[in-house]
Amino acid sequence: MTMIRMEISKDDSRAIYKQIADQLSTQIEQGLLKPNEKLPTHRALADQLNVTVGTITRAYTEAERRGLVEARVGAGTYVTDKQKGYWEFQCSADEQPTTCNFGYNMPPLVGQSDKIKQAMHVLSGASLSFNEFLAYQQPEGIESHRKIIAQWLQSHGRNIDKDKLLLTSGVQHGVQMIFDALTDTGDTILTEKLTYPGLFSLARHKKLNLRGVEIDEDGVVPESLDAACQHYQPRFLYLMPTLQNPTTSVMPALRRKEVVAICKKYNVLIIEDDVNGLLPDNPPEPLVNLDSEWVLHLGSFSKCFAPGLRVGYIQPPQRLYSRLKMSLKDHSWMLSPLLSGLICELICSKSLDQILDAIRYETIRRSQMALDELQPLKPQYQQGGFHLWLSLPDTWRLSDFIHAAEQKGVTVKSAEHFTLPAGKVTPAVRISLGCPGSREQLMRGLIILKELLESDTPYDFDL
């Protein structure tokens, strides 16, 4: 954070906030304040100039109106970089050298942007076919795109049929399509007791009841699933059998067969979220391979390439295909053909497989760093995953630990995010290893977490 030298004159006819804004303008013009330089907080500058915080707020607002500075949510106020394109994103917290963001469960950066540029260059040079990307297409997507994607998924062990495939804007979108097309208000959805938090908002929007099934190191417990099916008569079971979020579990082949058999026994359809399924080297067969007419299989390219592409897919049982196709049409008419075209070019050029291999390699390096650093604390981890699941020592309260980490510039995800409404919150955190921009930044964050976890906890209380 930059210290700013300013002088405020009460004899000046200009309002104090305008004096401050004018001096900011002069210092930016003279190069004393550089683009992307962080300004003092409102309180710090108010104390320095002996004015109110409200005056500084007005001054920064005036400076922002002039295009001199920009407020970044949760990060502060920065000098505007006028060389940056208007379409560019602000720097995220994990790009700041003093912070480490373990919050987002995403793949590490291993050259995805270069591959995307190359693919876009190829697509833009196809003058005859490029107009297809700009036109309306059928809701299910261009047939040649579905064929290329289905063949690639088949080569990675998934029994996918192009004629049953629907292209979506990610797995979250696919789940929403299922809920909108195939559930009614008040229906019950079973899921793991700790599960993907995006499910909560979707269920709340549709007024569905979520009920948790007990889990162990292999995923949902068959006896608990059987009892829940009897008691709740659910419409669906949603689960993530490979690299479960957040617990990292990988359901073994025998358990998968048991789960499918129980769901068929009670006429409960399975929503298989396979978003992490392509990450391990040799994962068990997906549930869709066991029974494609009982499993709605969802996946995306968010974890095996990049989340910003927002290209996913769903293969439902044949009898549900038309209803889900209509749901997709109602939501967005279609996935952008330009996005599915990019994925197809990445597949055909072998770039997607190259990036997936690079992600796996980098993930091995990062996970080994994390396991070496946090080994005494015995975090849960499975090969190929981007995240750890770490139970806190008894000396830490969950909320205290999250706050202490944030105070040191480190973001982790609390178990509260993954706990069903009214469920008991486990004192644990998810640590996502792909989010930090570099291994050096990753190590800084791991060291901070380890020091916190091994430190004496400062307990405070109020009456």
Angstrom distance (rounded) from CA 372 to CA 142: 47
Mean pLDDT of the 151-163 span: 97
| Residue 177 near residue 156 (C-beta atoms within 8 A) | no
Spelled out in words, what is the top-level CATH class assigned to the domain 357-454? alpha beta
Question: What pLDDT, on the 0 to 100 scale, is given for residue 93?
Answer: 40
CA distance readout (Å), 156 to 119, 302, 305, 327: 22, 16, 15, 28
* pLDDT, tens digit (0-9, with 9 covering 90-100), for 214-228: 999 999 999 999 999
Q: In whole angstroms, how far apart are CA 199 and each of 190, 259, 284, 331?
A: 11, 20, 24, 18
Q: Which two tokens stand for residue 218?
A: 């292999």
Cα 366 → chain centroid: 18
What is the CATH architecture of 16-91? Orthogonal Bundle (1.10)
State how far the Cα of 89 lies from the Cα of 396, in Å rounded to an integer.
Answer: 36
CATH topology of domain 112-349: Aspartate Aminotransferase; domain 2 (3.40.640)
* Per-residue pLDDT at 424 exceeds 70: yes
Q: Could you read off the pLDDT of 410-422 as tens digits, one per residue?
A: 999 999 999 998 8
**Ranges of CATH 1.10.10.10 domains, the chain:** 16-91
Residue limits of CATH 3.40.640.10 in the chain: 112-349
Name the percent of the chain lying above pLDDT 90.
75
Q: Could you give the C-alpha distances from 440 to 75, 94, 222, 356, 358, in angstroms and in order?
A: 22, 12, 42, 22, 18
| Average pLDDT over every residue of 158-178 | 96
Contacts of residue 94, Cβ cutoff 8 Å, sequence gap at least 6? 100, 101, 411, 435, 436, 437, 441
pLDDT at 463: 52
Backbone angles phi, psi at 370, to 5 degrees: -65, -45
For residue range 244-301, list pLDDT tens digits in order. Answer: 999 999 999 999 999 999 999 999 999 999 999 999 988 899 999 999 999 999 999 9
> Model confidence at 133, in pLDDT bands (50, 70, 90)?
confident
> Cβ–Cβ contacts within 10 Å for residue 214, how many?
14
How far apart (Å, rounded) are the C-alpha atoms in residues 384 and 288?
21
Residue 27 carries which side chain, given as an amino acid letter? Q
Q: Distance between CA atoms of 260 and 340, rounded to whole angstroms?
A: 31
- Number of Cβ atoms within 10 Å of the Cβ of 63: 26
Helix (H, G, I), strand (E, B) or coil at 270: strand
Res. 73: pLDDT tops 90: no
Going by their DSSP bridges, the two strands 269-273 and 236-239 should be labelled as: parallel
Spatial strand order in the sheet of 236-239:
166-168, 312-315, 295-300, 269-273, 236-239, 188-192, 209-213
- Asked if 206 contacts 182 with a C-beta cutoff of 8 angstroms, the reply is no
Question: If you search the block for the tokens 């906890």, which residue do you land on?
Answer: 457
pTM of the predicted protein model: 0.80
Return mean pLDDT, the chain.
91
User: Residue 430: enclosing H or E segment and its boundaries?
Assistant: strand 428-432
Strands (E) located in 96-160: 100-101
* Residue 10 Ramachandran class (φ > 0 left, ψ -120 to 50 alpha, else beta): alpha
Given a cut of 80, whether residue 85 has pLDDT beyond it is no
Q: Is the pLDDT of residue 431 over 70?
A: yes
- Specify the pLDDT at position 94: 42
Residues of the chain with CATH 3.90.1150.10: 357-454
**Residue 343 structure tokens:** 């994925």
On the CB side of 13, CA atoms within 13 Å amount to 0
Contacts of 391 (CB under 8 A, 6+ apart): 377, 378, 379, 380, 426, 427, 428
Please give the sequence-ordered ranges of beta strands (E in DSSP) within 96-183, or none if there are none. Answer: 100-101, 166-168
Residue 460's pLDDT band (cuts 50, 70, 90): low
The token pair that represents 428 in the structure block: 């644990």
Place of tokens 């479960």: 244
Largest Cα–Cα distance of the chain, in whole Å? Answer: 84
pLDDT > 50? residue 86: no
Distance (Å, rounded) from C-alpha 417 to C-alpha 247?
12
CA 426 to CA 349: how far, in whole Å?
A: 45
What is the mean predicted confidence (pLDDT) over 112-119? Answer: 93
pLDDT for residue 462:
53
Q: In residues, how long is the chain?
A: 463
Which tens digits make up the pLDDT trace of 3-22? 788 989 888 889 999 999 99
SS3 122: helix
pLDDT score for 305: 94
Letter for the amino acid at 1?
M
Asked whether the bond before 139 is cis by omega within 30 degrees of 0, the reply is: no
Q: What is the pLDDT of residues 347-385, one digit of tens each?
A: 999 999 999 999 999 999 999 999 999 988 999 999 999
Task: Reply yes or no on whether the pLDDT at 75 is more than 80.
Answer: no
Q: What mean pLDDT comes out for the span 402-413?
A: 92
Residue 424 CB-density burial (10 A; 0-12 exposed, 13-18 middle, 19+ buried): exposed
Q: What is the Cα–Cα distance from 288 to 221, expressed in whole angstroms?
A: 19
